Structure 1
Amino acid sequence: MTLREELRRRQFWRALLAEMLGSLVFVSAMLGSTVPGPGAVAQGPIYPALAGGLVTVSLGYCFGDISGAQVNPAVTLAFLATRRLDLLRAGAYVLGQCVGATLAAGILYLALPFKSAAECYVNKVSSEGNAGQAVGMEALATFQLVFTIFSVEEQRRREGAEPGNLAIGFSVVAGVLTAGRFSGGSMNPARSLGPAIITGVWEHHWVYWIGPVLGAVLAGVSHEFFFAASASRHKLVACLTCKDIEMVETASVSRSSLSTVTQTAMRAKQANKQEHN
């Protein structure tokens, strides 16, 4: 499909809007749960963890069939790295996610009675650690989240009706609780970017891109090419050489030769073309 054809499709713009709105809702929930309680007492990571997990489950049902409800640039880049998503759609998703996150941070910033409370929005490296440790914790937390997402997606492809949203929500809760004390438990570059743009606090902001993206890509690649049912050396080579991965997956799962699957696919394409004509 050409660029012009993709941009003319209604489904493309629906998916982009879903990612933008989903990110707005997700970041709003995360930021709202970090606002200090009475007496300016910090809430700790438990409230953001629960808010993130619950809203992730909800968004999966709202936008899962439209865009996949990724609402996270790290997840989107993991799908791009494993060729589950094309470059145009991945770039559009990341842009929509960042815009939605920025709108969420701006709306809550305007709604706060005291602007100084917005300082709790920005993810910060713990004073007891350093930026390197924060990168490691963000990568580890994001790895387990994205590995869960890929596992759920594989079960959906095989079983169809498997929801999996609850497992992803639990994974978000676990990630925030794991990395919360060290780095804030972002696992989402857009969630960190939005508040940074609104408040102007950019200290160690690179941590929240490198850590999550590194963990997400490692999780996606390790699942797709080592742990998935269709994982094989041929699939990895097909990804690296930009060949058709779907044919290799079909051959791996059905235990047929790649040439047989390729011939079958070509016959199906010719039959569809003749019917269309």
Structure 2
Amino acid sequence: MAKIALGCVGEATQPDCIRALVVEFITTFLFIFVGVGSAITANTLLGNALVGLLAVAVAHALVVAVMISAGHISGGHLNPAVTLGLLFGGHITVVRSALYWIIQLLAASAASFLLSYLTGGSAIPVHTLASGVGYLQGVIWEIILTFSLLFTVYATMVDPKKGALDGLGPMLTGFVVGANILAGGAFSGASMNPARSFGPALVAGDWTDHWVYWVGPLIGGGLAGFIYENFFIERSHVPLPRAEAEY
């Protein structure tokens, strides 16, 4: 059973950690910029809700795949739920996880503020539950969608016996993000990512249902990481308590 590695405060000053944090900021910023930007465009230009949802799903799928690949130095988490899932699998320390969370939230906020400025103050779409969808339903939606995201990350990038899937992880992860948005976007918003919800909520000043997008993704991500690492991965040695994610 994988053990959570605590790490040490000194990690924050290590050159490899600093580089990873810079890369994580850049890739998360670009992910949020494209993701939220596509939502703004869909609301502005597309009158058909289904076409808008499809456009947002495709944009998220593409940018997730590219940013995970581009962010190989940091692991390309882009998402506090992914970081938590890898923490529960013993692939990143608690200290570096906290630093990643801070960076991810800062990047999401910066991207959302910049989008508000560049679009002339256009409304920034925030994640809220659809009419008729209760809190419990919303949380369950986010748990399942985020679980599928982390399960895919582990199966295609973390598992040492990924076989023919080796190298396809970023693309397949992007696919599952896009598919999940098509499945749950009309109900919970299909966030799967607390940072993706935090940035727009901060800029818009709208925190309606916001806690759902922390509770659901963190439970789903943490559960997927714990289950996959402890029940499906076969290792000849336990994961080293290194400071970076072993994608």
TM range (shorter): 0.7 to 0.9
- Shift of residue 200 of structure 1? 0.5
- What fraction of aligned residue pairs are identical, expressed as a percent? 33
State how many pairs are aligned: 230
Q: Structure 2 vs 1, CA of residues 158 and 182 (structure 1 numbering), >3 Å: closer, same or farther? A: closer
Q: SS at the partner of 2:82?
A: helix
For 1:85 and 1:160, the matched residues in 2 are separated by: 25
After TM superposition, the score normalised by the length of structure 2 is 0.86
Structure 2: segments with no counterpart, 5+ residues: 1-6, 241-247
- Shift of residue 191 of structure 1? 0.5
Partner of 1:223: 228
Letter in 1 for 2:55: Y
Q: Structure 2 vs 1, CA of residues 153 and 217 (structure 1 numbering), >3 Å: closer, same or farther? A: same
Task: State the structure with bigger RCO (CA 8 A, min sep 6), 1 or 2.
Answer: 2
Q: SS at the partner of 2:196?
A: helix
- Shift of residue 40 of structure 1? 6.1
Please tell me whether residue 131 in structure 1 is matched to residue 135 in structure 2.
Answer: yes
Please tell me whether residue 112 in structure 1 is matched to residue 116 in structure 2.
Answer: no
- Shift of residue 154 of structure 1? 3.2
Partner of 1:253: none
For 2:84 and 2:96, the matched residues in 1 are separated by: 11
- Shift of residue 145 of structure 1? 0.5
Partner of 1:3: 9
Letter in 2 for 1:193: F
For 1:189 and 1:24, the matched residues in 2 are separated by: 14
Please tell me whether residue 30 in structure 1 is matched to residue 23 in structure 2.
Answer: no
For 1:141 and 1:208, the matched residues in 2 are separated by: 11
For 1:14 and 1:45, the matched residues in 2 are separated by: 35
Structure 1: segments with no counterpart, 5+ residues: 232-243, 248-277
After TM superposition, the score normalised by the length of structure 1 is 0.77
Match among 190, 194, 198 for residue 185 of structure 1: 190
Q: How does 1:1-277 map to 2 (within 5 A)?
A: 2-4=8-10, 6-35=11-40, 36-38=43-45, 42=49, 43-64=51-72, 66-113=73-120, 115=121, 117-119=122-124, 121-155=125-159, 162-163=166-167, 164-230=169-235, 245-246=238-239
Letter in 2 for 1:190: A
For 1:98 and 1:12, the matched residues in 2 are separated by: 17
Letter in 2 for 1:99: L
Partner of 1:262: none
- Contact residue 159 and residue 233 of structure 2 kept, 8 A: no
- Shift of residue 212 of structure 1? 0.5
Q: SS at the partner of 2:131?
A: coil
For 2:48 and 2:163, the matched residues in 1 are separated by: 46
Partner of 2:244: none
Q: Structure 2 vs 1, CA of residues 82 and 161 (structure 1 numbering), >3 Å: closer, same or farther? A: closer
- Contact residue 91 and residue 239 of structure 2 kept, 8 A: no
For 1:134 and 1:217, the matched residues in 2 are separated by: 17
If you compute each CA radius of gyration, which structure gives the higher value, 1 or 2?
A: 1
For 1:137 and 1:45, the matched residues in 2 are separated by: 17
- Contact residue 156 and residue 162 of structure 1 kept, 8 A: no
- Contact residue 155 and residue 162 of structure 1 kept, 8 A: no
Letter in 2 for 1:151: A
- Shift of residue 79 of structure 1? 1.2
- Contact residue 70 and residue 76 of structure 1 kept, 8 A: yes
